[in-house]
Amino acid sequence: MKKIEAVIFDLDGVIVDTAHFHFLAWRNLARELGVDFTLEFNEKLKGISRIESLEKILVLGNLQDKYFSEEKEALAAKKNNEYVELLKDMKECDIYLGIKELINELRENNIKVSLASASKNAPIILEALRITELFDYVVDPDSVSKGKPAPDIFLAGAKALGANPEKCVGVEDAEAGIKAILDANMFPVGVGTPSEMQKAGAKLIVTNTKDLTLDLIVRSI
């Protein structure tokens, strides 16, 4: 890849630590359902849509046949209401170290920036962090037919910017997201535990976003 045309970011776990709020809200719902929900199991939900996350929790508790789809929608809405309440405590300073600087650096170098988050709450999170205007495009997860690990959301993030996927970089913290980036033929950057990110297929790995610079990306591709 000679010139980077766009960098496409995940949100939860890459820009801000909302993963912990997701965990707390799912754990409370799981408790009500009598399901033992651990931090380890929560890892499997990263990058996965709300309703798919609920399905996985129901399978964990052997409750997959217990609810009609309207009841499942109500359970997912209950979790989301609690999650949105927790988001109210989020402030501008909660943005991960170096992320704002990296995005500004990309923009100064005429590299477009988009967001490919599975979260329907992404717009309110970007607003709370006051970074909406830093993104050239935010993909609506409802606009793509298949969620992560399918590449659709990353491809939509590139298409909207008129960027060639082969000249795009994707940044993710979840195994499902790294797979989506790889299948979109983009360069995968993983944020997280090196062994896990390596296993997922990330080609550049940082444990802390403060280490992620344009220079490091350019040297790695």
Please list the active-site residues: 10, 12
From 7, 27, 53, 170, residue interacting with ligand B16 (rule: CB under 6 A):
53
CA 127 to chain CA centroid, nearest Å: 16
Token code pair at residue 178: 């790294």
Q: Which stretch, 48-56, 64-72, 94-102, 191-199, contacts ligand B16 (CB under 6 A)?
A: 48-56
What tokens were used for 191? 């944020």
Binding to ligand B16, residues 14-43 (CB under 6 A): 22
> Which of 5, 6, 7, 13 is close enough to bind ligand B16 by CB under 6 A?
13
> Out of 10, 136, 152, 175, which residue is the one contacting Mg ion (CB under 5 A)?
10
54 versus 111: smaller Cβ distance to ligand B16: 54
DSSP H helices, the chain, are 19-33, 39-42, 50-60, 69-87, 99-108, 122-128, 152-159, 175-183, 194-200, 214-220
> Is the distance from CB of 195 to CB of 213 less than 8 angstroms?
no
What are 90's two structure tokens? 């989020």
Non-local CB neighbours of 12 within 8 Å, separated by 6+ positions: 18, 19, 22, 46, 47, 117, 118, 119, 173
For Mg ion, what does the binding mask look like between residues 147 and 186, x meaning CB under 5 A? --------------------------xx------------
Q: Which of 8, 13, 23, 50 binds Mg ion (CB under 5 A)?
A: 13
Return the one option of Mg ion, ligand B16, none that residue 57 interacts with (CB less than 5 to 8 A, by type): none
Q: How far is the CB of 110 from ligand B16 (least distance, A)?
A: 25
Question: Can residue 99 be called a binding residue for ligand B16 (CB under 6 A)?
Answer: no
Number of residues near Mg ion (by CB under 5 A):
5
Of 178, 125, 174, the closest CA to residue 154 belongs to: 178
Residues contributing to the site for ligand B16 (CB under 6 A): 10-13, 22, 45-50, 53, 80, 117-121, 174
